[in-house]
Each structure stands twice: as structure tokens, then as C-alpha cells.
Amino acid sequence: MSRTKVAAISILAFGLIAAGGVLFFSNGHSSAAAISQYSPSRWTDATGAAIFTPACGSGIPCSATSVDWGPGAVPLSLTNYGIWVYITGSGHTIDDTQTITTPDCTLPTPDIKANGADGPIVITYNTAATLSWTSAHATSCTVSPGGWTGTSNPGQSTGNITASQSYTLSCTGPGGTTGDTVVINTATLTISPISKSLNPTQTVQLTATYDPDGPGGAGPSDVTASANWSSDNTAAATVNNGAGKGLVTAVSSSVGAANITAAYNGLTSNVSLITVLKVPGFQEVSP
């Protein structure tokens, strides 16, 4: 690094200096019989290695003093990571180029997803979801609960969840600490009664109950009229899926069993087993 005796200097780059940026000095106008000094008094050691690294949120304020006393002089403004320059006298030496390395002061930008979505998402009660996360401007990240670490992860199983759960990705970097949260709700769909024996032509009304966030959540609701109903053996028993949804009718021409299920909001219910009994002496009359 050269050292040059100058009559005046002017700053060519000042204000907020990006990470790895270079601050240049050059000869000013010879009409000014003065030399500029700066604070701190040294930016480098004897070998030219940087010894000053401003922390994020701090820095050196610029003075409102002109750096160049010649034509076109422009006062400096108060800005972080600038340089404080003032006129002191002549006959001094100063480095013509100095390098200032400042940390990246951008806040981390964490992003956590569950099953590929920002959430909230709904999964079936007592099943697992997959968390994934990315971050920028971060040196470390932790997911809580779970304690998983790393600035990114393409897939981390939550394990089976039996209650609504929030997962927070907290990331730290030179610019500070910030977080992102995803919510996973557990849902159940149940029908009742779970079993019923019917004589031919008899009916029973089934009820479908949807719980969007499992035990301890907002509570269940009756979705009988909104669910889609089906029977796996319509020769034994049918179930209404139009008007009067959930009404099961034992078919008179069959003796056997049918599994009745309901579907709602992406979930499939438990099975209600309908058994059709043979009635002694009962005989179907064909039309």
C-alpha cells in the first residue's frame, strides 16, 4: 500500500460501505494548502491488514465538513460507515487507498413450510407432517419445538402429532435474529354409530363429526349434510348422498354387511358397519 504526501484529499466513495467495499482517497485540489485526517487514525496495521470492522448498527459518522476545499466542494452528511474527515494542516502523509470490510447487516430471512405450504395446514390426527426450511443472511438457525438446526433443510418429519402445533424457525446472522412460524392443525372425521344391525328395509341415520384441530382445539362440528357418503356393498345397505345425507337403508333383497364411510375436507372417516339381518318368514315380493 502506497503512502503519498498530498496537499489535500477528497473522498470518492463515502456513506454506507457494502461488505468488502473499498474506500478510495485521491489528491484534492492543489489550491488547498491543507491535509485531511480521519478517525480512527488508522484503518490498517503496518502490514496493510484491516484492523477495524464496524459492527452492524454502529459505524463512524461522517462530519459535515467539506473534504475538498477546491472548486465543487461537497459537505459530507451523517451516515453510518462513513469517515470523519477534517482539515488540520499541511505537510502530513496519508494512505491513498484504504479497504473497509463491514459485515452484512441485512436481517436474516427465514422461511419454514409444512408439507410444502406456508400454513396453517391440516393433517389427520396422529399422523406426521414434513417441515422444510431455507434462510438467507443467516449463520445459524434452530426450529422449536424439535431443536433441529441448520440454515436449510429439505425435509424433517415432525413425528406423529395429536394436537395443533406451531413450529418456529429462528435464524441469527450479523444483522440480528428473526423468525418465521408455520402452524399445523390435526383434524379428525368420525361417524356414529360405529355399528348397527338392521332388518331389511329398516333405516338408521348416521352422523359425521369434524374436528379441525384435535383435542384441546376449537371443538368439533356436525358435517353430516356436507360430507360425501358411500357404501362398499350397496346390495346390503345403501346410504343417501343427496337429500337426507347419511341415512342408511338395509336392502330387502340381501343378507350381509356394508361398510359406510364419509369424506370431508380431504379426510376419510372411520367405518360404520351395517349388518343386515335375515328375518324369519320374511320374503321379498317382486313387483
Nearest Cα residue to 184 out of 132, 133, 115, 135: 115
Q: Is the pTM of this model over 0.75?
A: no
Q: Provide the H-helix boundaries in 217-259.
A: none
Residue numbers of the chain with a pLDDT score lower than 50:
1-54, 58-102, 287
* Bridge partners, residue 267, by sequence: 264
- CB proximity list for 98: less than 8 A, separation 6 or greater: 22, 23, 25, 43, 44
CATH 2.60.40.1080 fits 193-276, yes or no: yes
Domains of the chain, residue spans: 1-103, 111-187, 193-276
* 201/10 Cα distance (integer angstroms): 100
* 190 in Cβ contact with 206 (< 8 Å): no
- Digit-coded pLDDT (tens) for 91-116: 333 333 334 444 567 889 999 999 99
Answer CATH for 111-187 from 2.60.40.10, 3.65.10.10, 2.40.160.20, 3.90.180.10: 2.60.40.10
Q: Give burial (CB, 10 Å; 0-12/13-18/19+) of 216.
A: exposed
Nearest to 273 by CA among 204, 222, 211, 201: 204
pLDDT attached to residue 149 = 97
What pLDDT was estimated at residue 214? 66
Distance set, CA 48 to CA 21, 120, 137, 207, 269 (Å): 16, 54, 28, 80, 73
Q: Are 138 and 108 in contact (CB under 8 A)?
A: yes
Q: What is residue 225's DSSP assignment?
A: T
pLDDT, residue 64, reads 28
Helices within the chain (DSSP H only): none
The three-point CA angle 150-111-105 to 5° equals 80
Q: Report pLDDT digits (tens) over 233-266.
A: 999 999 999 989 999 999 976 678 999 999 998 8
pLDDT value at residue 250: 95
> Which pLDDT value is given to residue 6?
30
Tell me whether the CATH fold assigned to 111-187 matches the one assigned to 193-276.
yes
- Longest CA–CA span in the chain (Å) reads 126
Q: Are 77 and 15 in contact (CB under 8 A)?
A: yes
> What does the alpha-carbon distance between residue 110 and residue 45 come to, in Å, rounded to a whole number?
38
Alpha carbons 6 and 24: distance in angstroms, whole number: 14
Neighbours of 151 (CB within 10 A): 19
- Nearest C-alpha neighbor of 207 from the set 186, 217, 221: 221
Sequence-distant (≥ 6) Cβ neighbours of residue 94 within 8 angstroms: 3, 4, 6, 9, 25, 35, 36, 37, 38
pLDDT value at residue 19:
33
Q: Which three cell numbers stand for residue 105?
A: 447487516
Residue type at position 139: T
